Structure 1
Amino acid sequence: MSENNLKKCVPIEIPDDNPFQNDVLNRKDNIEALTTFITSFEQSIVLCIDGGWGQGKTTFIRMWEKYLHQQSIPTIYFNAWESDYTDDALIALIGEIGLSIDKMPKENEEKSKGYLSKLMDKLGYLATHDSKKEWLTIFSAFGSFCTGGKIKVDKIFEFTNNLGACLAKEQIERYEKSKQVLTEFKDLLSKLTECYSTNNIKKPLVIFIDELDRCRPNFAIEVLEKAKHLFNVDNIIFVLATDKSQLAHSIRAVYGQGLDVNGYLRRFIDFDYLLPTLDKNNFFINLLQKFSLDQILQNLKFYNLNTLYNSEYTYLDFSYDLINLYQLTLREQEAICNILNIALRTRNPFDKSELTMLLFLIILKIKVPDIYKTFSKDSMSIFKNLALENVQSHFTLVDTNRLSKFPLLESLLLIASSSTSLSLDTPIVQNYINKYNLDEVKKTALEKCFEELGYIRYKELLELKKTIEFSVNFKFQ
C-alpha cells in the first residue's frame, strides 16, 4: 500500500469452513468447552455470555455459531436490538425461527412449515394484547346511553352493574384457554425443533440472542420472559450475549432502583459465563496490520530509552503500554485505530513528540472526554494537571515496576504546558517531582525523555487537536 493511501477497518471475517481462522484472541478453546457444556443437557437452559461493552461478545457468538454449524448443530441468531421496534418479543422470536426454516434439510422443510403455521395461529392468545380495544368497546357502549345530550342513568347503572362480572368471566375463560394454548404451543415447538435434526440424531436447537442490553427496558425484560416461559422445551438452548451490568440498569428502570437484580435474573438465567479477558496486544497488532500501520509504528524508535527498558523501545511498545495503562476494550481500540489511521494519512509527517501526544489525546477523547475537552491554548496548564493526575491514578502496586519506567507520557505533558525546553532543574518539573515524590530512577527517565522529545509549540499541539476532530468525522463499520 502506498504511503498516502487510506485503508478502512472491516469486521472480522469468520469463514464457514474455518471459524477460527482470524481468531486473534484465542477464543477456540472457550467455544469448544462451551459446546461440550451445552450439548450435555437435554432440557432447555439459558446461558448468559457476560462481557462489558466492546469486549467482542458479538464476534464470539458469531464464531461459535459457525463452529456449531460444523458440528451439524442447528442455530438461530436473533439480534434483539434490531427487533425492539416491534410491540411483542414473541412475534419477533417466532419470525426469526420462520426465517431459519429455509436453511434446514429439505426433507424436513415442508413439515416444519406446517408446524410454524400452527404456531402462528397460537400467537393470538400468547402475544401481548392491546387493552385499548376493550376500552373502545366500553366507551362505545356508554355512547349508546346518551340521547340528545341527556344521559340515561338507569341504563348506565344496569350496564356498570354487570360489567365487572362480564369482564371477570371473560378473563377466566381467556386464562383457561391460554393454558391450553400454551401446552399446544410447546408441543408444536418441540416437534419443530426435531425438524432441525439430521439423520434422526437429536441435537439441540441453539438460539443466540445478541445486544439485549441495548434494548428498550420493557422489550429486554419481555425477551427474557418469553425465552424462559414459552420456550422452556427440551433441546432448546438460549445463549444471551449481554453486559449484565447494563441489563441491570434496564431492569431497574422498570421495577425500581431497589430491586435485587441478581435475584431477579436468576429466575431466567440458568448459567453465567464471564467472557475471559485475553491478551489485547494481539488484537491491537492485528488492527494495525489491517490498517497497514504496524511497520510505521515499529520503525519509530525512542533511542534514549533503550537503557531504561534494557531493549529497543519503539512507538509500538509505547502503544501497548498505553493500552494496558487505560485497559482499553476491543471496541475502544478499534475506534482509536480508526482515528489514528485517518490522522497519519491526511497530514504531514509527525515528529516523535507530536505522534506521542497524538495517540494520548485520541485515547483521552475516547476514554476520558472531560479531560480532553480542556485541551486548548488558554487552559493548557489545567489540562496538564488533570491529565497527569489521571495518568497517576492508573498506576497500581501490581504494575509499579513496569510503569515507574513509563516516563514518555509524563514528560510530554510537562513539555506541553511549557513555553521552553525542560530539564530536571526547571521549576515546573521540580514541582512535579516533589508532588509525586519521584525517585532517582524516575527522574533519570524523565531527563532522558526531555532529551528524546525536545520541545513542542502550542501551535503544533492545537493542530493535533484539529487533526483528531477531522478524523473522528469518519465512521468505519
Structure 2
Amino acid sequence: MSILPVQPNFDDGFTPENDIFGRKKLYEQIKNIVSMSSVESIVLGLDDDWGNGKTSFVKMVVGEVVKHEGDNINVIYFDAFKSDYQSDPLLAMISSIYSMIETKTSNNIFKEKFLAVSKAMALSMFKHTPKALVGFLSAKLISSDMYDGIKDSITEAVSEPLENYIQEKIQGASKEITEVENFKTALESIYQVTGKKTLFIIDELDRAKPDFSLGIIEKVKHLFDAKGFCFLLVMNRSQFEETIKVTYGNINTSVYLNKFVHMWFKLPILKPKAIIESNKEANFSEVYYIFKRYVGCYVENQYIINSLSYLLTKNDFSLREAERCISLLRMCYGNYLSEDGLMFESYAISLLVFLRVKDYSLMIDFLHKRHAQDRFREIINISGENDNIRANILALISYHNLDGTIIAQMFNPSVNSQYYNRELERVQLELREFLTRPDVSKGYVFEHWKMNLFERLFERMEYIEIE
C-alpha cells in the first residue's frame, strides 16, 4: 500500500474521477479564449492559494487539450520551480517549445530553421555570460565547432575592461534587436506551420527563485510576445508579489504584474447549497460531498469518511491539507480504513488526524484536556446547527473530558450506573459492546481502554513529522 495518496492520471483530462471539484468550466473558458482570441499574443494569470489544486488543474488542462483539442491547440507545460536550478530561464523555455515542435510537425526544414534562429538570438543575449555559454554547450544546443568560434568572446567577457564591454554592447545593439525579431518571427511561424495556437502553461512561479521567476515573465513580455501564443501564468499572486518586492523594493506590485497579465482567473468557488440526506437531519454543503468523494478514494470506512470530511469542510481545509490527512491515515491507521469498525473509535481517529494536521499543539492540548469543551468546539469550528455527525463528535469530546470516576461508573459492565447523559448514550452503548466482545477487546485492559482511547490511538503517530 502506498502511504502517499496516489495522483490521478491527469492525461485523461477532466474526467468525473479527476475533476471532483468541478473545475472543467474554468478550462472551457480558457480554451475558448485561446481559440477565439485574435492571433496576437495574450497572457492569462491563474491566482489561487497554496494547496488549492492549481497544479492538478493545469495538468488536467494539458490532458484535456491533448486528448480532445489536439487538432486546434498546441500545449506546453513548464514547471518553473523544477527548472530554477538554471541561471536563466531562456534556454529552458526555448527547449520546451522545440520539444513541442518536434512532436507536432515533421517539417525538418522548419525545425532546423527554428533551432538556428533560437541559437542565434540566445547567443546574442548571452555573449558576455560565460556560464550561460557553457550551459549551451552542456545542453548540446551548440556544437563544439560553434563554441570554438565564440570562445574568444568568453575569454574577453572575463578579462576585458568594463568600458570595452559597454562599447561592444552599444555597437551590437542593432544586431541584438534583429536577432530578437528573427526569433519572434520563428515563433509566429509555429502558428503558420501547424495551423494551431500554442497554450504555454508556466506553473509554480511563486515557488521558483525570485530572479528566475521574474526573468520568466519579463521574457514572456519582451521575447515571446508572438502571434499565435497564449501564456497561462500559475501562481499564488500575493506570494509572487512578495517576490517582486525582494527584487525591486516596495513598489506597487499589482500595477507591475498587470503590465504583463491581460486577464486573471481564480479556481471556481464551490458555492454552498443545502443537501438533505435520507435521515432528513443533516444539512451539508457541496464542499462536504466533494471531500467525501476525495477521502472515499482512499478509505472504505464510512465513519472515517463522514467525520473527517465534516472536519475538513468546517475548517476550510485545502486539498493539500486533505492529502496530509490521507497520508497520516494510511501511514498510522491502515487497518482501520478497509471496513467499518466501531463508530466512535473511527471518529476518534478522524479527530486526531485532523488535529495533527491543523495544529500539533492544539492536539496536545486536547489530549491533556487544557481547553474547556465549549472553547475547544469553537476552535475546531463545529458550533452551529445540530446534525448526526456533529452530535457524534461532540459526544466524543464530552467523553474525553469526563472525570475518570464517572467514566468507570458509566462503562463498567458489572456496575449498574445511575449516571446518565443523553449526549453520551451512543458512546456508552458502543464501548459496552466493545467490552463484551472478547474477539474485539482481546489484548486490552478495561481500565486502559475506557480512560485512554485517544492516548492509545495517538501512540501510532506520536513520532510522525508532517511539516
Q: Would the TM-score normalized by the shorter structure come out above 0.5?
A: yes
Residue 378 of structure 2 corresponds to 392
Does structure 1 retain, via aligned residues, the 8 Å contact 2:84–2:212? Answer: yes
After superposition, give the CA deviation of every residue in 1:355-393 in whole Å (9 maximum; x if it has no partner): 3232122122222234235566xxx133x35x9646414
Matches within 5 A, 1:180-329: 180-195=178-193, 197=194, 202-256=195-249, 258-278=250-270, 279-291=286-298, 293-294=299-300, 296-297=301-302, 300=303, 316-329=305-318
Q: CA offset at residue 238 of structure 1?
A: 0.4
Q: Distance in 1 between matches of 2:127 and 2:88?
A: 6
Does structure 1 retain, via aligned residues, the 8 Å contact 2:307–2:389? Answer: no
Letter in 1 for 2:460: T
Residue 393 of structure 2 corresponds to 409
Matches within 5 A, 1:12-411: 12-16=8-12, 19-22=14-17, 23-41=19-37, 42-69=39-66, 70-71=68-69, 72=71, 73-106=73-106, 108-127=107-126, 130=129, 166-195=164-193, 197=194, 202-256=195-249, 258-278=250-270, 279-291=286-298, 293-294=299-300, 296-297=301-302, 300=303, 316-346=305-335, 351-374=342-365, 380-382=368-370, 384-385=371-372, 389=375, 391-393=377-379, 395=381, 400-401=384-385, 406-411=390-395
Does structure 1 retain, via aligned residues, the 8 Å contact 2:23–2:57? Answer: yes
What secondary structure is seen at the aligned counterpart in 2 of 1:468? coil
Q: Distance in 2 between matches of 1:37 and 1:445?
A: 59
Shift in CA distance, 345/392, structure 1 to aligned 2, threshold 3 Å? same
Letter in 1 for 2:346: L
After superposition, give the CA deviation of every residue in 1:397-452 in whole Å (9 maximum; x if it has no partner): xx8335898344344334334442669xxxxxxxxxxxxxxxxxxxx984556656
Q: CA offset at residue 255 of structure 1?
A: 2.6
Letter in 1 for 2:255: G
Does structure 2 retain, via aligned residues, the 8 Å contact 1:217–1:250? Answer: yes
Residue 404 of structure 2 corresponds to 420
Q: Kindly tell me the number of residue pairs found equivalent between the two proteins.
A: 398
Q: Distance in 2 between matches of 1:55 and 1:391?
A: 26
After superposition, give the CA deviation of every residue in 1:241-288 in whole Å (9 maximum; x if it has no partner): 2221222222222233x3322111111111101111334434433334
Q: Distance in 2 between matches of 1:390 and 1:469?
A: 21
Letter in 1 for 2:170: I
Letter in 2 for 1:93: M
Letter in 2 for 1:335: R
After superposition, give the CA deviation of every residue in 1:54-112 in whole Å (9 maximum; x if it has no partner): 22212211222222232221111111111111111111101111222231132x35422
After superposition, give the CA deviation of every residue in 1:333-359 in whole Å (9 maximum; x if it has no partner): 122122223333247997444332321
Q: Distance in 2 between matches of 1:128 and 1:140?
A: 14
Does structure 2 retain, via aligned residues, the 8 Å contact 1:87–1:128? Answer: no
User: Quick one: percent identity of the two aligned structures?
Assistant: 22
After superposition, give the CA deviation of every residue in 1:142-180 in whole Å (9 maximum; x if it has no partner): xxxxxxxxxxxxxxxxxxxxx675444223123333222
Q: TM-score, normalised by structure 1?
A: 0.72
Q: Distance in 2 between matches of 1:109 and 1:175?
A: 31
What secondary structure is seen at the aligned counterpart in 1 of 2:232? strand
After superposition, give the CA deviation of every residue in 1:194-239 in whole Å (9 maximum; x if it has no partner): 33x2xxxx33111011111211111111111111211111110001
What secondary structure is seen at the aligned counterpart in 1 of 2:227? coil
Q: Distance in 2 between matches of 1:458 and 1:420?
A: 7
After superposition, give the CA deviation of every residue in 1:22-51 in whole Å (9 maximum; x if it has no partner): 222222222122211222222111111222
Among candidates 6, 10, 31, match of residue 6 of structure 2 = 10
Q: Distance in 2 between matches of 1:135 and 1:112?
A: 28
Unaligned runs of 5+ in 2: 132-151, 271-285, 408-420, 432-446
Residue 442 of structure 2 corresponds to none
Does structure 2 retain, via aligned residues, the 8 Å contact 1:46–1:237? Answer: yes
Q: Distance in 2 between matches of 1:277 and 1:122?
A: 43
Residue 281 of structure 2 corresponds to none
Does structure 1 retain, via aligned residues, the 8 Å contact 2:201–2:232? Answer: yes
Shift in CA distance, 114/282, structure 1 to aligned 2, threshold 3 Å? farther
Among candidates 445, 449, 454, match of residue 461 of structure 1 = 454
Unaligned runs of 5+ in 1: 142-162, 301-314, 424-443
Residue 444 of structure 2 corresponds to none
- The one of the two structures with greater contact order (alpha-carbon pairs below 8 A, sep at least 6) is 1
Does structure 1 retain, via aligned residues, the 8 Å contact 2:308–2:351? Answer: no
Letter in 1 for 2:92: A
Q: Distance in 1 between matches of 2:52 and 2:119?
A: 37
Q: Distance in 1 between matches of 2:424 and 2:397?
A: 14
Q: Distance in 1 between matches of 2:392 and 2:406?
A: 13
Q: Distance in 2 between matches of 1:390 and 1:181?
A: 65
Q: Distance in 1 between matches of 2:2 and 2:220?
A: 45
Q: Distance in 1 between matches of 2:186 and 2:321?
A: 44
Q: TM-score, normalised by structure 2?
A: 0.73
Q: Distance in 2 between matches of 1:252 and 1:370?
A: 33
Shift in CA distance, 175/273, structure 1 to aligned 2, threshold 3 Å? same
Q: Distance in 2 between matches of 1:49 and 1:252?
A: 20
